Structure 1
Amino acid sequence: MRAVPFIRNPDLTTRARLRNSAIEEFALRGFDASVREIAAHAGVSAGLITHHFGSKQKLRQECDAEVLSQYGTLKSDGIAMSPTQTMAMMAELDDYAPMLVYILRSVREGGPAGVTFLENMIDEAVRFSEEGVSAGIVRPSRDPLARARYLVTSSLGGLLLQLSLQPQLDLADVGPTVRRLVEEITLPTLELYTEGVLADRRYLDEYLLQLGEPPGGTATFTASTPQFPESTP
């Protein structure tokens, strides 16, 4: 089932609408946003949010879970789509911008919540990339979990570094900032993942020899290999 952007789904319960408003507010203001500010964004009283969630911490936990769910569905959708359909989805990028900014803020914030969120993202990458391997569009890995961790952390780290080096990019300016970041990374990312960088496999084969593995072959799964290939965020 295709992920539904937060602003487009009218068929939600009051609790879900409040949660989605909180996601948007956290994306705009960061996680210091107060319950009162979240309530104002949703057009309700602060008491209604307290009634549904009990505390800001529990609200944040539900927001985390929803963002991860939307993120996983979005990635799974991309695997099922043709390249033409996937590129067409970029026209809807602004609709998903709050989710993407929420992810960046979670990782940049660090602390227990940020670490948990990152680990959950890696777990999601393992899950939906397995779908990609089954569909024949993602290559398997000798160490799927390690590759997942590398790809997720390096991708997020690169985006956060761009934000640090380009102070004109403001996460509070959700839509334009996400579009600018995506436009900058799309071509090099696709080129890197499709065509690679090294012209031959000598470095990989030499490293495999040091590990005591036969060089020259493609990645295969063994009984001791976790069978969960991974992908990028």
Structure 2
Amino acid sequence: MGVERIYVVREVRERFLAELEHRLRRVRAGVHYGPMTVPAQVEIVRGHVADALAHGATARVGGAESVRPPYVDPVLLVDADEDSAAVREETFGPTVTVRTVESVDEAVRLANATEFGLAATVFSRGRGMEIARRIRAGATSVNAVLGFAAVAALPFGGVGASGFGRIHGAEGLLEFSRSHSLTRQRFALPGMALMSFERTARTMRLVERIVRWRHGRAR
């Protein structure tokens, strides 16, 4: 699991991109990370990079030449169209897209406009928790990438196409259990055999009165 999409507000765009570019240029495939674990994924990464560049993205680090099986060097794609495969789909490679937005509201809208929703990260000096609550994802960290992974008590899992169910925490334990509902009738009420075909007209009138009293109208 890694960061695939980033949305950055315009006022900090250049500082952010300069720092990100500086760090990515120091990362080496085959030194800091290994080859692609699934050979077929190399072609998916190649296709996503090519598609993003065709949809107007600028490669600030790497590019099409970064794909050299079985390795893929870091690729930083800036302002790719939201319809490009690198943004819409999961690349599962050492690539990242960065999109410039005018406001936090726009960033939240674009971040949530995906069929996936495994995890997210929000960086903000004062509004981190507020923004995080608006993100549609199974887990969101504030001011730390994947911070939730360090807290075993927190349930982890996705939403949407990222799946359902949880691991870790109390909810994760429930995934390995099964519920078993038990009920026992202690005594029978005269004329109240509602779970059989022996319901009398008197029984149904009584039920109708109870429903009307409880809900304001008969159902």
Return the TM-score normalized by structure 1: 0.27
Bigger radius of gyration: 2
Structure having the larger proportion of residues in strand: 2
Return the TM-score normalized by structure 2: 0.28
Q: Which has the higher contact order (CA 8 A, sep 6+)?
A: 1
